[in-house]
Amino acid sequence: MSHSSIEPHTPLPPLSRGPHSKRLGIISYVATFGGLLFGYDTGVINGALEPLRRELQISATIEGFVVSILIFGAALGAVIGGRLADRYGRRHNILLLAGVFIVGTLLCTLSPTWQVLAVGRFILGLAVGGASATVPVYLAEISPYEKRGSLVTRNEMMIVSGQFAAFVINAVLYHFFSHVDSIWRFMLLVAVLPAIALLVGMVFLPESPRWLISQGRPEAAHAVLLQVRDSARARAEMDEVQHLADEEAAMKTGGWADLAVPWIRRLIIIGALIGVFSQLSGINAVMYYGSELLRNAGFAADAAIVFNTLNGLVSVLGVLISMRLINRLNRRTMLIAGFVLTTTFHLLIALTAMLLPDGDLKMWLILVFVLCFVLSMQGAIGPLAWLMLSEIFPLKIRSFAMGVAVFTLWIANAVVAFAFPPLIAAAGIALTFFVFVAFGLVAIVTLYRMLPETRGKTLEEFEDEARLGFAAPGASNAR
């Protein structure tokens, strides 16, 4: 299809308030229980390890395997989940994932051996990866462009809230029941409650209207839009999405073959880089091994565990700040600024560790700079990464491309998770964080050169722009 066949978009009618606004809020709340499960299941194992180790009598090697297998399951789940969501629908896939969360949680809770526990963790990983690839896409496709940033970012809020909840629940249960070896089972079992809520809630939610149009079901798509928009806005969005769906059908997009299309290949590469750079920021080195990092800085073991909970609290605060800013600032500017901040705090941590003598000043400064890093990461990079991944891919392959990007994200996560403990043990805090500084500089330069702007555009407008060739990165993208 020639570029000249793409017609300019007419402005959509402004949003109006009414019962449809409340329904949209309920939909976004229920769907993000997938993010809550994502956060809880990735955070809970830290506090459960000591009693788990005692009861199942596992070695350090087996312990590392049990922890990391969820990450590999998540990488696979992201790809599989993306394909299933494209084929059977976003809502259908989230329902399926809720069931997988329940099965994985119960299997982990009832595990008689570490082998069964590992299988349960892998199953949970499939659900975590599938949710990370599907929930942001569902939210982006059902949201009006004016609210897309804040609604998709609710998923990141639920992820960090799930991690924080895991830290707090583990601390409370361990404080009162540390003498009970099987207490780790109750820590894991808590996750079944939001999984059941997600399963029941999604039964009553609609399918993505954009997916329905891609499947040749415009009447069903219009009915969904009428639930979450006023009638004039629903009709206008229908026309816009149908226009793009017709073009994509003519181009026969939809899978790996689309990597041969230059503009699609470029978007998938950008998505993969966003995912990889977000993990090479080192956020999960802190979230997985924060207590160990603080012990290396000089804190006593008990104090390190207590202060590590601040990482969860600051993560929530960061996402709250992001939700206030994300619809007001350009995505591109905010994401690159986030990497500038995190790289600066990496440098400050490294210099503090290298130049100051051991003592109170050194360990407190490292704690402060780590918390500033977490705040910067969760106030910009974390939410923006997931939001932009949900926005930049064309409709026909949105979940497939999301799965590919999130697969690379999880692989980068696994690399950091494996490399951080031996690196910090062998090289110390200073050299380890100088490595993160180097990754940050590469991210800043690469994203400055490649990252497009998506704010103030419908998903269809951005797709048209991508097909025609991206505008200059610094150009204004407001409506």
Number of H helices, E strands in the chain: 19, 0
- CB distance 78 to 406 below 8 Å: yes
DSSP state at residue 207: P
pLDDT value for 306: 74
Distance CA 430, CA 358 (A): 13
pLDDT value for 256: 63
CB count within 10 Å of CB 241 equals: 23
Q: What is the pLDDT of residues 267-324, one digit of tens each?
A: 888 989 999 999 998 888 787 777 778 878 888 766 777 787 888 889 889 988 887 8
pLDDT value for 258: 64
SS3 label, residue 204: coil
What are the structure tokens assigned to 317, written together? 């605060």
Distance CA 101, CA 468 (A): 41
- CB distance 133 to 408 below 8 Å: no
Predicted confidence (pLDDT) at residue 63 exceeds the cutoff of 60: yes
Confidence of residue 475 (pLDDT cuts 50, 70, 90): very low
Residue type, 255: G
Distance CA 138, CA 220 (A): 16
CA 216 to chain centre: 30
Q: What is the mean pLDDT of residues 214-229?
A: 85
pLDDT value for 158: 87
Predicted confidence (pLDDT) at residue 52 exceeds the cutoff of 60: yes
pTM, entire model? 0.72
What are the structure tokens assigned to 384, written together? 């923006």
DSSP state at residue 392: S
Predicted confidence (pLDDT) at residue 45 exceeds the cutoff of 80: no
DSSP-derived secondary structure for 329-390: S-HHHHHHHHHHHHHHHHHHHHHHHHHSPSSHHHHHHHHHHHHHHHHHIIIIIHHHHHHHHH
pLDDT value for 108: 92
- CB distance 424 to 110 below 8 Å: no
pLDDT value for 343: 96
Alpha-carbon distances, residue 431 vs 69, 202, 208, 276 (angstroms): 27, 47, 47, 21
Predicted confidence (pLDDT) at residue 405 exceeds the cutoff of 80: yes
pLDDT value for 233: 84
Alpha-helical runs (H) found in 143-181: 148-177
Distance CA 477, CA 453 (A): 7
Distance CA 434, CA 437 (A): 5
Q: What is the mean pLDDT of residues 382-401?
A: 78
pLDDT value for 239: 78
* Torsion sign across C-alpha atoms 134, 136, 139, 140: negative
- CB distance 151 to 139 below 8 Å: yes
Alpha-carbon distances, residue 395 vs 116, 207, 213 (angstroms): 39, 14, 10
What are the structure tokens assigned to 387, written together? 């939001």
Q: What is the mean pLDDT of residues 53-69?
A: 77
Residue type, 310: L
Mark 449-465 as b/e (b = at least 16 C-beta within 10 Å): eebbbbbbbbbbbbbbb
Q: What is the pLDDT of residues 79-114, one digit of tens each?
A: 888 788 888 889 999 999 999 999 999 999 999 999
Predicted confidence (pLDDT) at residue 248 exceeds the cutoff of 50: yes
Q: What is the mean pLDDT of residues 397-404?
A: 76
pLDDT value for 171: 78
* Helix, strand and coil percent figures for the chain, each rounded to 5: 80, 0, 20
Residue type, 345: F
CB count within 10 Å of CB 239 equals: 12
> Which comes out higher in pLDDT, residue 289 or 431?
431
Q: What is the pLDDT of residues 324-347, one digit of tens each?
A: 887 778 888 899 999 999 999 999
- CB distance 147 to 326 below 8 Å: no
Confidence of residue 117 (pLDDT cuts 50, 70, 90): very high
Residue type, 188: L
What count of Cα atoms within 13 Å lies in the side-chain half-sphere of residue 41? 39
- CB distance 389 to 148 below 8 Å: no
* Lowest model confidence (mean pLDDT) among 337-346, 399-408, 439-448: 399-408
Predicted confidence (pLDDT) at residue 54 exceeds the cutoff of 90: no
Predicted confidence (pLDDT) at residue 1 exceeds the cutoff of 70: no
pLDDT value for 472: 39
DSSP state at residue 113: S
pLDDT value for 4: 36
Q: Any idea which residue has 């609609």 for tokens?
A: 206
Query: Can you give the length of the chain in residues?
Result: 479
Q: What is the pLDDT of residues 255-270, one digit of tens each?
A: 566 666 777 788 888 9
Alpha-carbon distances, residue 196 vs 44, 90, 103, 117, 210 (angstroms): 18, 18, 11, 21, 27
Q: What is the pLDDT of residues 156-196, one digit of tens each?
A: 788 888 888 888 888 788 778 877 778 889 988 988 988 99
- CB distance 298 to 359 below 8 Å: yes
